[in-house]
């Protein structure tokens, strides 16, 4: 095998024989991109902007730095996240660069990606979200799964979603159970504006009756089912949430008092005080509250309870069957 010895600038190591004239070969000119890069800062390509954003988010302690940087870059460019990986070489315009840097700065301060983009995916659907409503969490999909599984055999169940927020649960149920009728309540009229708009977007507005009020207070109909993802963080947990999404979300949608059960406990009391029984009630709870909530429901006559664990094996959804009024 030939060895490659040092040669003069402009020549190279080649397996081709030298030309008979023995003249040196002139070097190829630098490409425009290479020439402009010499002695200057790296170009504002997608790849470089992404690399800088990841470093900034990691420095700020954002655990999902890579994913967040990719999602926000794709959002600014109006492309899919996959296209950020597939085509890293295009150069960002000045407006794109400024927009991206602004979003990264806000994310570094803890503002949630869902608020920065203005939407969040839940149960395969996109929901508009802003600081008026809690951001739907992936773990809440278990609540929808259990409700759909248990109510699918019914012809036209009447379901009430307590504390609907963005409307994610009620709308996901309306899509998954096309014969179901729904009532969705919330004490926040601002949240109900977001929920109604989301229902219209997913073309289920006519099947969901949105009502302002405290939990079950505006409900007078006999219900087949109640579903609820109510606040279950303790006040201490909310106070300690600075620099996370908790700092930016409505406190009323998170804070459930000293033990994380204040709002769920009120909903249970209202449910058991209703004159007509409800066949089934499903409450999402924190792992620390699930057994207490199940015990409180199970203490009522004629009520059987079950606790459904999430994918991590933690108690997550409390199910109460045949919830009857206290005598």
> Per residue in 219-273, pLDDT tens?
999 999 999 999 999 999 999 998 889 999 999 999 999 999 999 999 999 999 9
Q: Do domains 46-109 and 131-323 have the same CATH topology?
A: no
The pLDDT of residue 325 is 64
| Regions of the chain short of the pLDDT cut 70 | 1-42, 325-327
The pLDDT of residue 22 is 40
**Neighbour-count burial of 191, counting CB atoms closer than 10 A to its CB (0-12 exposed, 13-18 middle, 19+ buried):** buried
Query: Domain residue spans in the chain?
Result: 46-109, 131-323
What is the third-level CATH fold of 46-109?
Helicase, Ruva Protein; domain 3 (1.10.8)
What is the third-level CATH fold of 131-323?
Rossmann fold (3.40.50)
The pLDDT of residue 5 is 35
pTM of the full structure: 0.84
């Amino acid at each position: 095998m030939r060895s490659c010895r040092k040669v003069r600038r402009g020549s190279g190591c080649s397996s081709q024989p030298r030309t008979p004239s023995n003249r040196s070969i002139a070097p190829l000119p630098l490409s425009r991109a290479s020439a402009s890069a010499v002695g200057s800062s790296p170009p504002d390509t997608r790849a470089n902007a992404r690399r800088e954003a990841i470093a900034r988010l990691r420095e700020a302690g954002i655990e999902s730095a890579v994913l967040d940087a990719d999602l926000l870059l794709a959002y600014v460019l109006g492309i899919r996240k996959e296209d950020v990986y597939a085509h890293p070489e295009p150069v960002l315009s000045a407006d794109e660069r400024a927009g991206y840097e602004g979003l990264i700065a806000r994310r570094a301060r803890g503002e949630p990606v869902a608020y920065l983009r203005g939407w969040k995916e839940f149960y395969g659907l996109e929901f508009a979200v802003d600081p008026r409503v809690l951001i739907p969490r992936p773990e809440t999909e278990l609540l929808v799964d259990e409700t759909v599984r248990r109510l699918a055999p019914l012809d036209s169940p009447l379901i009430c979603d307590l504390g609907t927020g963005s409307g994610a649960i009620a709308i996901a149920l309306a899509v998954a159970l096309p014969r179901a009728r729904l009532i969705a309540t919330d004490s926040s009229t601002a949240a109900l504006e977001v929920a109604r708009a989301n229902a219209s977007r997913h073309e289920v507005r006519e099947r969901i009756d949105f009502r302002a009020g405290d939990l079950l207070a505006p409900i007078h109909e006999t219900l087949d089912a109640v579903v609820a993802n109510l606040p279950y963080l303790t006040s201490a947990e909310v106070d300690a949430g600075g620099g996370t999404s908790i700092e930016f979300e409505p406190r009323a949608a998170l804070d459930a008092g000293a033990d994380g059960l204040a709002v769920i406990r009120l909903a249970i009391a209202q449910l058991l005080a209703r004159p007509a029984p409800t066949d089934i009630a499903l409450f999402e709870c924190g792992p620390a509250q699930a057994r207490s909530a199940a015990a409180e429901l199970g203490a009522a006559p004629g009520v059987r309870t079950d606790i459904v664990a999430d994918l991590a094996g933690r108690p997550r959804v409390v199910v109460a069957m045949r919830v009857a009024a206290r005598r």
